[in-house]
Amino acid sequence: MAARFQMNTKLLISILKKRKNGPLPFLQKCYIHNVPRINTMKHMNISDLRKNIEVCNKKNVKHKNVWSNFLYIIILKLFNKEIKNYVDFMIILKLLSKYIKIEKKVLLYIYIKK
């Protein structure tokens, strides 16, 4: 483990010498707080998922991949017939539509599955 750490520091130093003023490519990606991972969201019920989406809305998260992950989980839950509260479902769709454009195919699928 220590050898691996030394190699990473040597690599970092060499990159810093090459790029004195430019940003580092692997430090540009930051983790978005208050967003659970997809595997965690798969096991949540619809009301907990709605709360997480509302928190992201309040935090004004504008990363498209976060909102598409939420849409993916919603469609997955709809396909597995885990959605019992359609009020939460419609609130989630309304919040998602603010940040990402939901295609007509997806909306048609949601309409058919309901």
What's the pLDDT tens digit per position in 76-90? 998 888 988 889 999
Minimal CA–CA distance to 62: which of 37, 98, 104?
A: 98
pLDDT attached to residue 2: 46
Is residue 20 assigned to a domain? Answer: no
Residue 13: inside a domain: no
Q: Is the pLDDT of residue 35 over 50?
A: yes
In terms of pLDDT, which residue wins out, 21 or 92?
Answer: 92
Residue 72 lies in a domain: yes
In a domain, 32, yes or no: yes
Q: How far apart are CA 36 and CA 32, in angstroms?
A: 9
Give the residue numbers spanning the domain of 85.
Answer: 28-113
Q: What is the CA radius of gyration of the chain?
A: 20
pTM for the model stands at 0.67
Which is higher by pLDDT, 47 or 16? 47
DSSP the chain: -HHHHHHHHHHHHHHHHH-SSSPPTTSS--PPTT---HHHHHTS-HHHHHHHHHHHHHTT---HHHHHHHHHHHHHHHHTT----HHHHHHHHHHHHHHSPPPHHHHHHHHHH-
Q: At 18, is the pLDDT very low, low, confident or very high (cuts 50, 70, 90)?
A: low
Residues of the chain with pLDDT > 70, as a percent, come to: 69
Query: In terms of pLDDT, which residue wins out, 19 or 111?
Result: 111
What pLDDT sits at residue 7?
53
Residue 15 maps to a domain = no
